[in-house]
Amino acid sequence: MISNNTDNSQNTNTFAYNIRLDRAKGSILGLAVGDALGSTVEFTTPEQIKARYGLSGQTEMRGGGAFNWPVGHYTDDSQMMLCLLESLVSTGREGRAGLDVDDLGRRFVAWYCSGPPDMGITTRLALARLKAGTPAALSGDANPDSQANGAVMRCAPVAVLWHRPEYRPELVRDSLLSAAPTHRSVIAVEACVVANIMIAELIEGASFDTALERAKARTGPEWRAELENWDRAGRPHRGNTGWALSTVLTALHCVDTTSSFEEAVIKAVNGGHDADTVGAVTGEIAGALYGLSAIPGRWLEVLQDREKFIELATGLFQIGENLSGAGE
């Protein structure tokens, strides 16, 4: 009997572990998929999308867009997410779990110097300061009016690392720090806290509504008020703008008003305008809710660096599962 109970317990633990891992990988791959899907229709209007692709709009990996992306290729959103992902895995494997902002800054500068075609103005100016010698923790724009979405579009790896409930303080700390090299205004950086609390809670099996309530409880008063107002207003679509506030609220709307990863991301990118980033943020949240196994295979098959993302996401999740004493 004891042996059978032990076996059952081990099977249950393995099953739960695999579900959490699937959700963690879903968040990372979901971000990249949403980004790549949205790249085709970035800087277009919803009306232009329907005129070009029909009433269903943009539903497939087509490439093209303003920067003529190859099919399945992602933009600066996932390129910067990859810098963060690789940094967290590297430091974690060295036994230093958590974000080393200087290591992240060096990776961002290397990316900046590679001449990426698509880079937001706020990010470009900040990385120029970083390259010129401003510390990574201070190079982001701290102007309260600087509220662009260039930090929340890449933040999911922090949630994958600190997904366990006992590490919410570390998750908040590193969410804020992950934004610092490019964005330091309250709205811009705490957008990362909101998204990452949602992602971590969903990885752990919380419902959307429970995750949202826990995100409200962990963020600052500005974001808490915005989330409460959005909730009271019926959780509306807030438009596909380049601002962190509307990006996160629209992503939450797209997840809340659909019933699958595919539906959520398609709804997000068909809002046009900053479609790649709204797609990325929707994808990182929906991916944590539904898991990698729910992302359409036809999208994953052509996704640039798919196996690399899966390997790194798996490694980072395992680092998070094996933390010992990091929260003390």
CATH code of the domain covering residue 247: 1.10.4080.10
Alpha helices in 180-220 (DSSP H): 186-203, 208-218
The answer to whether position 285 is within a domain reads yes
DSSP 8-state secondary structure symbol assigned to residue 234:
T
Alpha-carbon gap, residue 102 to 283, rounded angstroms:
27
pLDDT of residue 4: 63
Against a cut of 0.75, is the pTM above it?
yes
Q: Compute mean pLDDT per 10 residues along the chain, 328 residues long, and list them.
A: 61 90 98 98 98 97 97 98 98 93 98 95 97 98 95 98 97 98 98 98 98 97 97 97 98 98 98 98 98 98 98 98 62
The answer to whether position 44 is within a domain reads yes
The answer to whether position 2 is within a domain reads no
Token reading at 312: 């790194």
Alpha-carbon gap, residue 164 to 175, rounded angstroms:
15
Burial state string for 238-274 with b = 16 or more CB within 10 A and e = fewer than 16: bebbbbbbbbbbbbbbbbeebeebbebbbbbbbbbbb
Alpha-carbon gap, residue 132 to 118, rounded angstroms:
21
Domain count of the fold of the chain: 1
Which residue range(s) make up the domain with 73?
A: 18-321
> In angstroms, what CA-CA distances link 288 with 30, 68, 147, 208?
8, 29, 25, 10
pLDDT of residue 325: 45
The answer to whether position 326 is within a domain reads no
The answer to whether position 190 is within a domain reads yes
Token reading at 103: 């290591």
The answer to whether position 8 is within a domain reads no
The answer for residues whose C-beta is within 8 angstroms of residue 12's C-beta and 6 or more apart is: none
The answer to whether position 12 is within a domain reads no
Please say whether the beta carbons of 320 and 160 come within 8 A: yes
The answer to whether position 194 is within a domain reads yes
